Amino acid sequence: MTPMSLQRETLDELVAIEHDLWSNDPDVYHDTYAPGAVLIFPDVGRIDRDTAVAAIRKENADGRAWAEVRFDEIEARWISREAALISYAATARWNYESTASETLCATVYIQVNGTWKVAFHQETSIVSEPGT
């Protein structure tokens, strides 16, 4: 296996993990985020893994789920052999919304005992100008 195919394979694995996280499954969040992970969300601020898991459980109880999610402009930066940063633009729509929103996302993954874990995740809303 060449280094390039290994990188592509790793990127594909990390993007698949990101898609799983958008499923709003609290168990996926708990198992995927490192215990000391930092998450930053618009309108929420900085939270930890346990706060995020509790919030997802509440969203699920309230019947909130992502109806559609699409990733575009996916990029990767390899920080080290055991750490990677991926960034992408997400277009997503909640099941109770009629229009999707756009968000820039960045996630830092680290390898822990051979498994990729999220150490950091940030989302920044893309606000379009009126008339665009």
In a domain, 103, yes or no: yes
Residue 132 counted as domain residue: no
Q: How confident is the model at residue 130 (pLDDT cuts 50, 70, 90)?
A: low
Where b means 16+ CB within 10 Å and e means fewer, 109-118 reads bbeeeeebbb
- What's the domain count of the chain? 1
Q: The domain containing residue 112 runs over which residues?
A: 3-125
Q: What is the pLDDT of residues 18-66, one digit of tens each?
A: 999 999 999 999 999 999 999 999 989 999 999 999 999 999 999 999 9
| Domain annotation covers residue 130 | no
Encoded tokens for 63: 């019947």
Using DSSP's 3-state secondary structure scheme, residue 89 falls into: strand
Whether residue 118 is contained in a domain is answered as yes
**CATH code at position 71:** 3.10.450.50
Residue 107 domain-assigned? yes
